[in-house]
Homo-oligomer: A and B are copies of this chain.
């Protein structure tokens, strides 16, 4: 039974997530705390946070990997079945907590997880695009 510990670096990472409304890449996080810890440490912290279901991993259409804090509802089993929006202009990724796709699968597939990412223009960029 591995116990997780609270370290300075982990706290710093969580604080960054708390302040951000959008998903963050490893690089974006590391830039904000490069005086606190090593690059590798950030990778390991992110791995642990994902494992502990505190953060979830998002991959956008281009293959960019980002992380966002999980908003736990009253669910027992924690599945990230909400959608993500990737803005083509500002490159920000946001969680669309309320957008959940419905679909019909062929038989003989066992679905454990889904990733539903939409791309285009976010409200901000759509308005400034006139």
Contact = CB atoms under 8 A, between A and B. Distances in A.
A123 interface: yes
Interface string A103-130: 1111011111111111111110011000
Interface string A8-22: 000000000000000
Nearest to A105: B99
A62 interface: yes
B100 A112 contact: no
Contact of A109 (B61, B104, B112, B123): B123
Given A101-B103, A101-B116, 15 more contacts: A57-B61, A59-B62, A60-B115, A63-B63, A63-B65, A99-B106, A100-B103, A105-B118, A109-B122, A110-B120, A112-B120, A113-B120, A114-B116, A115-B117, A116-B116
